[in-house]
Amino acid sequence: MARQTGILADGAIRELFEAGRLTSQAELDIDQVQPASLDLRLGAKAFRVRASFLPGPNHLVSDKLDRLKLHVIDLSEGAVLETGCVYIVPLMESLDLPSGMSASANPKSSTGRLDIFTRVITDYAQEFDKIPAGYSGPLYLEISPRTFPIVVRKGSRLSQIRFRIGQPLLSEAELLALHRSETLVASDTPNVSGGGIALSIDLKGGGEDGLIGYRGKHHTAVVDVDEKAANEVFDFWEPLYSRGREELILDPDEFYILVSREAVHVPPLYAAEMTPYDPLVGEFRVHYAGFFDPGFGHAGAGGTGSRAVLEVRSHEVPFILEHGQIVGRLVYEHMLEKPHSLYGSGLGSNYQAQGLKLSKHFRT
């Protein structure tokens, strides 16, 4: 019997377009629909604004833009978005959701690895990245590059949206049972609490050089978000090595790319999401939550041993991370049905079977 609650798979997302529940200013890109999410595309204009904002229950986003915009940037031929600035971009996609269907958004993996802070906003919103059931209207994306200036254009894809019916989140008992049968994370003693399964940091380093991660450089050239393998790693990143200590001091407001100690597995009938660990355990956080599609790390999709790449910041004070320290949790949700295509199966999936890996914009 088909499930009554769950995450919509790729086929059902396409049906939303066919039914007019999802509309767009242009035909879908061939790879825009992912196994359990849809990539969102930037429209033709970006509004530089004085500050981030939420419209609140009584206002349209356009009302706030009229008051807060500093200038308008044409994205039709590409434009540079500078670090430290906040931009609002109307997206090409709009929604007319049924009353029982809600949605949530997250930065794409490559967006997070470039330290581009993005959040989806709807009219009347009181929360970022949350689209309530039955919402009908436009979508906007807040963009704030944190480390590197970027080039974007109409059609660039920085964020993704996931649709759900009901509350498909697995309980702790269901999550533990699924781990025992499917090995969700490569750990003999999984830490399951707070509705998620813990991920810890790897600071031992792999290979002969003991590489444990990268720290973003300042005052770099721009990164074009639509160009793959166009940039030299050392022009943008400082490699970090273990040096035998199995710890790393995080400097305040520096950006780090690190990797989980555990390999991650998302079975075909489930979707996962990274959530930040309790901030009370230290003055740091995994900066971006992230979607993990069905098939990530799944042996049948070529992903055995896929680890989670982590975008990490320390706030206010320096903080020492130690090998094995918990830095985030994976929560799992039921899919309504199995996707037609799993992550890593012919979708141009850039991060299947990954270890420590920078975004697709850098040459290996």
What are the structural domains of the chain?
A: 6-165 (2.70.40.10), 172-334 (2.70.40.10)
Q: In angstroms, what is the C-alpha Rg of the chain?
A: 20
What's the pLDDT band for 277 if we cut at 50, 70, 90? low
What's the pLDDT band for 281 if we cut at 50, 70, 90? low
Say what the pLDDT of residue 289 is.
Answer: 60
Per-residue DSSP letters for 210-274? TEEEEEEPSS---EETT-TT-B-GGGTEEEEE-TTS-EEEEPBT-EEEEEEEEEB---TTEEEEE
- pLDDT above 80: residue 134: yes
pTM as predicted:
0.93
Say what the pLDDT of residue 129 is.
Answer: 95
CA distance 221 to 236: 8
Say what the pLDDT of residue 290 is.
Answer: 82
Average the pLDDT over 215-232 and give the result: 96
Say what the pLDDT of residue 55 is.
Answer: 95
Average the pLDDT over 112-141 and give the result: 96
Window from 4-18, 123-137, 172-186, 267-281 with minimum mean pLDDT: 267-281
CA distance 27 to 93: 10
